[in-house]
A and B are shown apart, each in its own frame.
Chain A
């Protein structure tokens, strides 16, 4: 039991960088939702059940503009389409060792940040991933609640670079893991593709992710792992 708790806490601690990045964003979401006329409970319910930042902001904007409900739901789903390839990869490469009920449980916490972190590490036991997912999810929900209560009064300047730092760290580790392969053309093309598609919002992100994956498949040899993180 102690081992399970240790793994759970280690996963939660591992996610602390994500938590730091999530909090100001979630606080902003809560504040904007309340300003758009969404009840506190509604904003929190959205964070509990949908748990997808960009699509939640888009939904609030659509609500503010009084768009029809069907278009709001479709907007959320289109923005979240990138979770499909992420889920396929996570289940194939990481979660496939776990019983089905545990995979269903982990699926709810599969967001960009947890995906990137989990697939950059060596394989871990189920409680580790659960701790990571719950820490991220709880910080998102708590941040939303705080945002509903205090509005936009908390400056986010000092935490704004947390998530870019996380992804930069993971990118450097992934590059080091793939050293020796023709990684630089993939990086250059990936940066160009991401910038070129950035004007299309989340759809552009999805297109860029799939484009980089296809390009890497064509140009690179199969990696041994997704890119191990060295501690």
Chain B
């Protein structure tokens, strides 16, 4: 089994999982919990991506301050791109200090 077959099979399997909502009859899936799945994915990915940003001291401080900055920007209803630019700018500036 060479590398290319491995890539092919991994891709087929991943695609089948990504398309399960297309080929699985909807009546086989309970629907109530699916309505909360977006919140679950967003919450878990937010927490895990923040946790993975923790590193050296400056990065940890950068993560904490950038998190607050993005939360404030979101609450002020700035557009998504502005929030991302603010987060990247604050984190990058603090992580680059020294």
Contact = CB atoms under 8 A, between A and B. Distances in A.
Interface of A: 14, 16-17, 20-21, 38, 42, 45-46, 49-52, 55, 59, 63, 69-70, 72-73, 76-77, 80-93, 95, 100, 103-104, 107-108, 110, 112-113, 115-116, 119-120, 157-174, 178, 186-187, 190-191, 194-195, 198, 205, 208-214, 216-217, 220, 222-223, 226-227, 229-231
Interface residues of B, number: 68
Contact of B37 (A77, A169, A213): A213
Interface of B: 1, 3-11, 13-15, 17-22, 24, 26, 29, 31-51, 53, 62-63, 66-67, 70-71, 73-75, 77, 79-81, 83-84, 86-92, 95-96
Contact of B43 (A161, A166, A169, A190): A190
B32 to A, nearest CB: 6
Contact of B8 (A49, A213, A217): A49
A172 B40 contact: no
Interface of B (DSSP majority class): helix
A164 B46 contact: yes
Contacts of A80: 13-14, 17-18
Contacts of A230: 77
